[in-house]
Homo-oligomer: A and B are copies of this chain.
């Protein structure tokens, strides 16, 4: 490929986030994939574990070695489990690479909070401070060419924050009234095998898990608190839905005024003006997860109940795209000064 393309490497290529990075980056006009990396399967072709990539990715998987990565690549995506990036990223930065991290290890600014929710050791404080939280439509301005470490937001926080922040920022909802009922497809649990991902246990089943205990809660509260200018505490429930991809956040809040659905639509459309990947649905229409499947969109709809003076906000994403690989590439685009949609202009797959 052309010598002046940006050279990228992917660590954690044998997870669902990793192969989704490959799917999009293969069609990205400014980028060349120079290394596909897996600690567990180095040396064999990725198609051994992912036959859908037969004849598409033929280079064998590389091992994890910061120096070797830096010798080939300009930017590295770390799609590793939480805890792994915390240890690996310092070496990658040290070697001169720019890092876009999908693991969750660098999202919380307070290491103590990280350790409370993630149950293992936090990265060093200076790294937590240095990391830019790349929720593109909200604080993409902080992502610049000089950013060395971008922390890609979690799947639940992406759907949730994009759905709440405009109303919260405008002072239209009571920050202490927020209840988030979130639902995810099973791919969010990764490719690891357990009863949690066993077909016989999940199919034809709807499960609730980690009520008020999910590690994405502090990430959501950190951003909401910054916007509200006060400590925001949310009620947060996560459900496992028998489907592969998709997140829906159904969010409830008390309205601080007599706002209509049309008012909310207008507020959000203005807030997200020019940002292609957020689609605000017109009043009375709500999005479904399949309407963003395989794409980088986040679709948002509203219902105002005049009887209870509450608003219900519905936000959907594809957890593997806008909730992981897609937004990571969007961050790369912003960091490089490219149009944020570069390489991401795929329509949803329907049906």
Contact = CB atoms under 8 A, between A and B. Distances in A.
Interface in A278-327: 279, 281, 285-295, 299, 301, 303, 305, 307-308, 310, 312, 314, 316, 320
A23 B351 CA distance: 11
A199 interface: yes
A260 interface: no
Interface of A: 16, 19, 22-23, 26-27, 50-56, 179, 181, 183, 185-187, 191, 193-195, 197-209, 211-212, 233-235, 237, 239, 241-246, 248, 250, 252, 276, 279, 281, 285-295, 299, 301, 303, 305, 307-308, 310, 312, 314, 316, 320, 345-351
B243 A345 contact: no
A136 to B, nearest CB: 17
B52 A208 contact: no
B50 A312 contact: no
Contacts of A248: 206, 208, 239
Contacts of A200: 16, 186-187, 191, 197, 244, 351
Most buried by B among A23, A276, A316: A23
Given A56-B347, A237-B250, 14 more contacts: A52-B290, A52-B350, A54-B299, A181-B237, A185-B206, A191-B198, A193-B194, A193-B195, A203-B351, A206-B248, A211-B286, A239-B248, A245-B351, A349-B349
Copies in the complex: 4
A40 to B, nearest CB: 13
Contacts of A312: 211-212, 235, 237
Contacts of A245: 204, 351
A244 B181 CA distance: 21
28 contacts: A23-B349, A23-B350, A27-B347, A51-B287, A52-B348, A54-B291, A179-B179, A187-B200, A193-B194, A197-B199, A198-B199, A199-B244, A200-B351, A203-B204, A203-B351, A205-B243, A206-B248, A208-B288, A208-B301, A211-B286, A211-B312, A212-B312, A235-B310, A237-B250, A237-B303, A244-B351, A245-B351, A294-B294
